[in-house]
Chains A and B, each alone.
Chain A
Amino acid sequence: MSSVNFLSGAHGRLLPPSIPFRFFTAAMVFYVLFWASLLLNAEDVTGYMIGSGPMLGTIHLATLGVLTMTVIGASLQLLSVATRRAFKGFWICRLLSWIFIPGFLLLAGAMYIGWFLGMLAGALLAGGGLLIFFYLIIDNIRGVRGMAAVMAHCWGAMLSLLGLVVLGVMLIIDMEQGFMADHLAMAVSHMVLAVFGFMGLLAMGFSYILVPMFALSPAPSEKLGRLSCGGMILAIILVVAGVNSGLEWLALIGIFAGLTGAGFYLRGMTGVYKARMKKRLGVPFVLIRSAWAMLPVTLLWAAVGQMGYWPETGHVLFAALAIIGWLLTFLVGVLQRILPFLSSMHTSGSGGIPMLASSMADEKWLRINAVGHLGGFAVVALGIILDLTLIIQVGAALGLIGAASLLAYLLIVVRHMIRNRPRRA
């Protein structure tokens, strides 16, 4: 992959910091709420399959609240720099936040208490916000030359987003109307499109830009990027088709296509990591590398389930691996790295000297976050395997401490940023 020379002129394509940081701040608040909700509802975790209630709300706190919120904030900033195309109007980005964040709050709250009209209204609002996001991204990447693999990931992610929004609204309506022939199959499809389509493809696509930048390393080849994207998109199509047609062998082939795609992705990332100029990459890369390890584990576990060998809590473990182990861990690692980077680009200390990222907030918060998050995930997973509520509660408590640390770090960084904004002449 040719070097993404996007840092040239990057400063001129920075969004006003309030735009990405409102999404990051919301994401970190929902990150705390996710672990808190998991702690409060630990006894319902292993028994959950489908339907509204606290568990559905908890899952969406992670997927829409943390992951999607983070991805929106990062995408809006990263893409405008990478494609060298500024967004046409910052007001659209602000409008997106005014619709999506309250819409999601309503949706998650309504899911929590099983309030149908609230869920529908929240889904339509949040879905509307996501469609604005869809428009912003497509408008930005349309006709971009170069970065073919990254663009392919973006296109795949955006098409998945359309699918999951439509399915999400239909699933809520079906809870009342019962018109779907197979609600569970549709819910699984919604999850696959969300986790591996929209969020997974965006995370993987942006890896090809962010990881080489953070590690000071050459980007992987375009060929690897296209193969990984192709594998993942084929996987999503085959799994969704297999799940909805009852052809279990088709879904299994899809999972192996996903493993192949993931394999190409990890080969690229491993190459980047090994070729890095800077050897010490710190706590963020402990999280990122842990997430990389979890991606094939998640897919292998999916294959085990598809072949019929899951224990009773196998589906719950799969959700934990995919959402917490792979995606949340990866995005938290990325956030740990980009928060100080972005804020230092927006701040100057006395005399106009750019502020050091490390002087904005103590990095001990990041260490606590990493230990809490990874420890929390491991213990929650153990609790699911053993079907023991107390262990899940311990894991959730660890995760909550970790999440609170990252929120504290973010708030301290934001306070520094506000105090040290460059004064306009």
Chain B
Amino acid sequence: MFSFERQITRTLHDEHLVTINVLERLEGIFQKYGPKKTPVGDNPEITSLLGDVINLVECDVKNHFTFEEEKLFPLLGAAGDSPISQILTGEHNVITPLGGILSELAKTARTEGFQDASWTQFRQSGVELIERMISHIQKEEMALLPMLEDIVEEDEDGQLMMEYSEMR
């Protein structure tokens, strides 16, 4: 696996793994249920996944993004490498509302099940979110985390971990 020495980069990497896992399960559901095959209510697999999607969007991703923008991107800027943080912030601004739409649809579906129209919308939003999130995680894993490994010192690492723990 990727090996990161700093706690903060390891934590962010582990969160990426969790996110990818949920997204891949979502992708699996979309492959199983095409655009014209609305899943029937009372499907435990889907109900569980909807809960994970809501949790992912409303807690994990939101906190992850906020922490990056408030604490980590400024470090990159100070080290003279702001283009990547600009790109990532731009992607946050697209992913966040998209995740919000998906989360609302998921909440409704948990109680009322999917209808044809809501399934179509959930599927469209979900497919887009998967693609954007995977691309985003790719950039963070290949660029952001290695750069943080280079610039974050040990004491700073501890401080960042504390701040992130308080945020979550």
Interface set of A (CB-CB < 8 Å, partner B): 3-12, 213, 216, 218, 275, 277-280, 344, 352-354, 356-358
Whether A4 and B142, one on each chain, are in contact in the complex, defined by CB atoms closer than 8 angstroms, is: yes
Contact A7 to B3, CB < 8 A, known contacts A12-B83, A277-B16, A280-B27? no
Contact A7 to B139, CB < 8 A, known contacts A275-B1, A356-B132? yes
Whether B131 and A358, one on each chain, are in contact in the complex, defined by CB atoms closer than 8 angstroms, is: yes
Which residues of B are found within 8 Å of A218, using beta-carbon distances? 1-3
B2 vs chain A, min Cβ distance (A): 5
Which residues of A are found within 8 Å of B81, using beta-carbon distances? 8-9
Contact A278 to B20, CB < 8 A, known contacts A9-B81, A356-B128, A358-B131? yes
Residue B22 is within 8 A (CB to CB) of chain A in the complex? no
Whether B127 and A11, one on each chain, are in contact in the complex, defined by CB atoms closer than 8 angstroms, is: no
CA A15 to CA B152, docked complex, whole Å: 32
Whether B131 and A216, one on each chain, are in contact in the complex, defined by CB atoms closer than 8 angstroms, is: no
Q: Tell me the nearest residue of chain A to B143, going by C-beta.
A: A7
B89 vs chain A, min Cβ distance (A): 13
CA A279 to CA B91, docked complex, whole Å: 23
Whether B83 and A9, one on each chain, are in contact in the complex, defined by CB atoms closer than 8 angstroms, is: yes
Residue B94 is within 8 A (CB to CB) of chain A in the complex? yes
A147 vs chain B, min Cβ distance (A): 13
Q: Tell me the nearest residue of chain B to A359, going by C-beta.
A: B128
Whether A216 and B24, one on each chain, are in contact in the complex, defined by CB atoms closer than 8 angstroms, is: no
Q: Residue A278 contacts which of B3, B24, B143, B147 (CB distance < 8 angstroms)?
A: B24
A309 vs chain B, min Cβ distance (A): 44
Which residues of B are found within 8 Å of A280, using beta-carbon distances? 24, 27-28
Whether B142 and A3, one on each chain, are in contact in the complex, defined by CB atoms closer than 8 angstroms, is: yes
Residue B60 is within 8 A (CB to CB) of chain A in the complex? no
25 interchain pairs, CB-CB under 8 A: A3-B2, A3-B142, A5-B147, A7-B139, A7-B142, A7-B143, A8-B81, A8-B83, A9-B84, A11-B87, A213-B142, A216-B141, A218-B2, A277-B16, A277-B17, A277-B141, A278-B134, A279-B24, A280-B27, A280-B28, A344-B135, A352-B90, A354-B90, A354-B94, A356-B131
Which residues of A are found within 8 Å of B84, using beta-carbon distances? 7-9
Which residues of A are found within 8 Å of B146, using beta-carbon distances? 3, 5
Which residues of A are found within 8 Å of B3, using beta-carbon distances? 218
Instruction: List which B90-138 residues lie within 8 A (CB) of chain A.
Output: 90-91, 94, 127-128, 131-132, 134-135, 137-138
Which residues of B are found within 8 Å of A216, using beta-carbon distances? 20, 134, 137-138, 141
Q: Tell me the nearest residue of chain A to B86, going by C-beta.
A: A11
CA A3 to CA B16, docked complex, whole Å: 17
Which residues of B are found within 8 Å of A275, using beta-carbon distances? 1
Whether B143 and A11, one on each chain, are in contact in the complex, defined by CB atoms closer than 8 angstroms, is: no
Which residues of A are found within 8 Å of B90, using beta-carbon distances? 352, 354
Given contacts A8-B83, A280-B27, A353-B94, 7 further A-B contacts (CB under 8 A): A5-B142, A213-B142, A216-B20, A216-B141, A278-B20, A356-B128, A357-B131
CA A356 to CA B91, docked complex, whole Å: 12
Which residues of A are found within 8 Å of B127, using beta-carbon distances? 358
CA A384 to CA B3, docked complex, whole Å: 48
Which residues of B are found within 8 Å of A4, using beta-carbon distances? 142
CA A216 to CA B133, docked complex, whole Å: 13
Q: Which 5 A-B pairs have the closest CB atoms?
A: A7-B143, A5-B146, A8-B143, A3-B146, A7-B142
CA A221 to CA B143, docked complex, whole Å: 18
Residue of A5, A12, A213 most packed against chain B (CB within 10 A): A5
Q: Tell me the nearest residue of chain A to B138, going by C-beta.
A: A216
Q: Tell me the nearest residue of chain A to B16, going by C-beta.
A: A277
CA A277 to CA B135, docked complex, whole Å: 12
Which residues of B are found within 8 Å of A10, using beta-carbon distances? 143
A279 vs chain B, min Cβ distance (A): 6
CA A352 to CA B142, docked complex, whole Å: 24
Q: Tell me the nearest residue of chain A to B94, going by C-beta.
A: A353
A423 vs chain B, min Cβ distance (A): 16
Q: Tell me the nearest residue of chain B to A344, going by C-beta.
A: B135
Which residues of B are found within 8 Å of A279, using beta-carbon distances? 24
CA A28 to CA B113, docked complex, whole Å: 46
A105 vs chain B, min Cβ distance (A): 37
CA A3 to CA B147, docked complex, whole Å: 10
